[in-house]
Chains A and B, each alone.
Chain A
Amino acid sequence: MIMTEIKTKPVIAPRWRVSGRNKERLLQQAFLLPATLYILLIFGYPVVQNVIMALQQYTTATFFTGHAPWIGLANYQAVLQSRDFGRAAMNTLTFTAFSIAGQLIFGMLIALYFRRRFPLNNLLRGLLLLPWLIPLIVSSAVWRWMLDKDSGVVNQILGALTFSDVRIGWLTDTTVALLAVICVNIWLGIPFNVALLYSGLQDIPQELYEAAALDGATGAKAFKHITWPLLRPVVTVVLVLGVVYTLKALDIILGLTGGGPANATQTLSTESYRLSFQQFDFGQGAAVGNILIVISLVFALLYLRANRKGSKA
């Protein structure tokens, strides 16, 4: 902040020094050039293309002929009016909200647990990262087996615990499929949450707890008055990044249910995939993609704001 203020002040200096300053400024900008070019090329170009594509009738033929007629907002209109959209939007909301809440709660509990000193702490914490390291295609295939209605291990365990024959169609029953997908996604997101929250916890000085303990604040009280307030910047970052990652989650849903049964787990990202790569209506697919980008952008701005606040503190 301070830096920019100095820069904006008019510089009164002899002529020969101004040109020297200009040179320096040019040089500074030259250093920025590679990064700017990179961002424009790798992020800017596709986003602009996507925005344009959503305004065109973009089909397989377009790839060969290069010809895509302009149709204005017709793609958005078609997408917003389809029965699938409302459902996909609702599913996206549910999926994101519950995934994030679950990941944060379990991530926090586990991070707090690992603050204690006990044997094998480091090893266990390392193992906890495993879900992150397994390719998503693999873990979703394994979960698909485990959640199988007839021979899945999840139903077998539930059956053994309740001494009955449990046959829940985790991935085939429209009423529980979304829940099952959310649970798998929570499992998937825990390592990320634990890693960030744990390192955040490490930054809180131990003396604070010692002082608080003298005043009689331990356990839940210490968490409420010390851990939570000091961890808030980290939590904000975890939440915002989590939301962006979850909004765009595609592979895990495709791997588990493919959006089914009967669209019960269709989200905006799977809907965009379906429109583009199964229906080959790239225009409509791009329209859904853009809607998703705008939603993510809101959270990205929140993240930037939270970050700025964090660096100010």
Chain B
Amino acid sequence: MLQRPAGSTNDTKIYDSVLATCEKTTGITIKTQDIPSSGYLAKVLQQASSKTLPDVLMLDNGEVPQIAESGALAPLKPLGVTTNGFAEGVVQASTYGGELYGVQPVANTIALFVNTELLAAAGLKAPTTWDELKRTASILTKGDTYGVAFSAAASEEGTFQFLPFFWSNGGDETNIPTSEGAAALQLWKDLVIAHAASESVLTWTQADVNDQFIAGKAAMMINGPWQFPSLDKAGVKYEAVALPAPQLGAEIVSPLGGETWTVPVTGNKEKMASAAQVVQCLGSDASQLELGSGRNLIPTNENLAGQYAQENPKMKGFVDQIPGLRARTAQLGPDYAKASQTIYTAIQDVLTGGAEPLEALRRAETK
């Protein structure tokens, strides 16, 4: 029994095809169970307490430490699972307490989407630094159109979007109130104060941000590759480039998103061994390529990613960020949820004019 959150029809179709291949190569019959994605974690917790966890379990990579901490997941190395060639950040995300608990075949992260028509009309190029981002966004702000849109919502989504700015400038979630972190907050504040970004970023989810971009109400946006299908369908002329860096040439550190496959401790040794084989197969090169190209995600095997970027040029903005991808839970493990809250609370405080960046970070942390 393999359990996953219900995704879009396209996601399901591609995963089904990958799983069918895995059934052939491993000789193991796989039954799948789709759980509504809202409340997925609650369901998993419930299953953990009633000892009815499935043999193979899909988790968001950020949730691995939470569940691994409880002892519900089996370490994968003793079951013979390997992750050779995987990007370091990816392996780290599925690792807790030195043990590997998950295999993540494909990853996502966020990049800067630009409306190429609006940019060309203004004679501009996609910004590569923070200063350029501010300038470009200001120039592109006209009438009903804002220069840039992003999600600063009071949730993990807001933190997720902020992390590349925070990290790239040297911010650290184990010591949040620093001038480096505050400078990143100042950037977002400057964009909103200059009206280059709408104040509504405070409530927008990443899906809302995408709607604004499609409607032409934002000339640029921060978003992920999962938006490609809807953008293509809407016929927007766009390009996804790497996020702007604090200074020219500085490395961009982006958060790693995506799901990982784990083997819960069910007590049935035979089934757990079979489950490990299925997980290994899901992480194989063939699965990575099929899942990546079918769903616009990045293969997590670094060698594969390079080749993949050449074949899928629109993914370049994302693949380029692979070496710098960082797991959100790498340093704090299960305590990341607290840090995430501190960060989004500070973002909200600053953007509503409640406090200056450094003060807001301090205040959010000490409550």
Instruction: Specify whether A and B are partners.
Output: yes
- Residues of A in contact with B (beta carbons under 8 Å apart): 59-66, 82-84, 144, 148-151, 169, 171-174, 257-264, 277-280
| Interface residues of chain B: helix, strand, loop or mixed (majority) | helix
Given A65-B70, A262-B345, check contact A150 B46 (CB 8 Å): no
Interface string of B334-359 (1 = CB under 8 A from A): 10011001000100110111100000
B352 in contact with A64 (CB, 8 Å): no
Whole-angstrom CA separation of A258 from B156 in the bound complex: 12
Contact of B200 with A172 in the complex, beta carbons under 8 Å: yes
Chain A residues within 8 Å of B46, by CB: 63
CA distance in complex: A45, B157 (Å): 35
Contacts of B349 in A (CB 8 A): 262
- The reply to whether A61 and B70 form a contact with Cβ atoms under 8 Å apart is yes
Tell me if A61 and B69 are in contact (CB < 8 A). yes
Residues of A within 8 A of B70 (CB): 59-65
**Who on chain B is nearest to A265 by CB?**
B154
B270 within 8 A of A: no
Within 8 A of A (CB), among B180-233: 198-200, 202-203, 217
Distance in Å from the Cβ of A180 to the closest Cβ of chain B? 11
Can you give 18 A-B contacts (C-beta < 8 A)? A60-B69, A62-B70, A63-B45, A63-B46, A64-B49, A64-B67, A82-B367, A149-B200, A171-B200, A172-B203, A258-B153, A260-B202, A261-B202, A261-B203, A262-B349, A279-B338, A279-B341, A280-B334
* CB pair A258 B154 closer than 8 Å: yes
Cα–Cα, bound, A280→B66 (Å): 9
Is there an interface contact between A64 and B199, defined as CB atoms closer than 8 Å? no
Cβ–Cβ < 8 Å partners of A173 in chain B: 199, 352
Whether A261 lies near B45 (C-beta < 8 A) is no
Q: Are A261 and B66 in contact (CB under 8 A)?
A: no
Residues of B within 8 A of A277 (CB): 42
Tell me the smallest distance from the CB of B194 to a CB of chain A, in Å: 15
Q: Which 10 A-B pairs have the closest CB atoms?
A: A61-B70, A260-B154, A64-B70, A262-B348, A64-B72, A64-B48, A63-B49, A63-B45, A83-B367, A63-B48
Report A-chain residues with C-beta under 8 Å of the C-beta of B42.
277
Q: How far is the CA of A243 from the CA of B354 in the complex (A)?
A: 31
**Chain B proximity of A136: nearest CB distance (Å):** 14
Closest residue of chain A to B72 (Cβ to Cβ) is A64
Asked whether any CB of chain A lies closer than 8 Å to the CB of B85, the reply is no
Give the residue among B45, B144, B354 with the most A Cβ atoms within 10 A. B45
Bound complex: CA A152 to CA B105 (Å):
41
Whether B198 lies near A262 (C-beta < 8 A) is no
Q: Is the CB–CB distance between A258 and B341 below 8 Å?
A: no
**Of all chain A residues, which has the CB nearest B153?**
A258
Cα separation A151 to B217 with both chains bound (whole Å) = 10
Q: Is the beta-carbon distance between A262 and B352 smaller than 8 angstroms?
A: yes
Docked-complex contact B352 and A174, CB < 8 angstroms: yes
Q: With a CB–CB cut-off of 8 A, which chain A residues contact B146?
A: 150
Min CB distance, B55 to chain A, in Å? 16
B78 contacts A by Cβ under 8 Å: no
Indicate if B27 sits at the interface (CB-CB under 8 A). no
In the complex, chain B residues whose CB is within 8 Å of the CB of A150: 144, 146, 198, 200, 217
A278 to B202, CA, bound (A): 18
- Nearest-neighbor residue (CB-CB) of A152 within chain B: B200
**Residue picked from B42, B72, B200, B217, most chain A C-beta under 10 Å:** B200
Q: Tell me if B313 counts as interface (CB < 8 A to partner A).
A: no
Chain A residues, Cβ within 8 Å of B202: 171-172, 260-261
Indicate whether A144 sits within 8 Å of B203 (C-beta atoms), given known contacts A63-B70, A151-B217, A262-B349: yes
**Contact indicator B199/A172 (Cβ below 8 Å):** yes
CA distance A264 to B338 in the complex (A): 19
B284 proximal to A (CB < 8 A): no
Which residues does chain B contribute within 8 Å of A61, judged by CB atoms?
Answer: 69-71
CB atoms of A60 and B67 under 8 A apart: yes
> A280 — which chain B residues lie within 8 A by C-beta?
66, 334, 337
B155 at the A/B interface (Cβ < 8 Å)? yes
Chain A residues closer than 8 Å to B153, beta-carbon distance:
258, 260
CB–CB A262/B367 < 8 A: no
Say whether, besides A63-B49, A64-B72, A150-B144, A174 and B337 are in contact (CB < 8 Å): no
Known: A63-B48, A260-B202. A278 touches B351 (CB 8 A): no
By a CB distance below 8 angstroms, the chain B residues around A278 are: 155-156, 337, 341
B352 contacts A264, CB within 8 Å? yes
Chain A: CB-nearest residue to B146: A150
Tell me the minimal C-beta distance from B219 to chain A in angstroms. 14
Most A-side CB within 10 Å, residue of B42, B67, B70, B345: B70
Bound CA span A73–B200, Å: 40
- Tell which of B71, B198, B199 touches A65, judged by Cβ atoms closer than 8 Å: B71
Say whether A60 contacts B334, CB under 8 Å.
Answer: yes
In the complex, chain B residues whose CB is within 8 Å of the CB of A260: 153-154, 202-203, 348
Of A62, A82, A169, which contacts B199 at CB under 8 A? Answer: A169
Partner of B354, one of A63, A149, A174: A174
Most chain A CB within 10 A, of B144, B156, B203, B351, is at B203
Residues of B within 8 A of A257 (CB): 203
A118 to B144 alpha-carbon distance, docked (Å)? 45
> B60-74 CB contact bits vs A (8 Å, 1 = yes)?
000000110111100
Bound form: Cα–Cα A62–B46 in Å: 11
Bound-complex Cα distance A63 to B367 (A)? 27
With known contacts A60-B67, A63-B46, A172-B202, A259–B154 Cβ distance under 8 A = yes
- Check A172–B334 contact: CB distance below 8 A: no
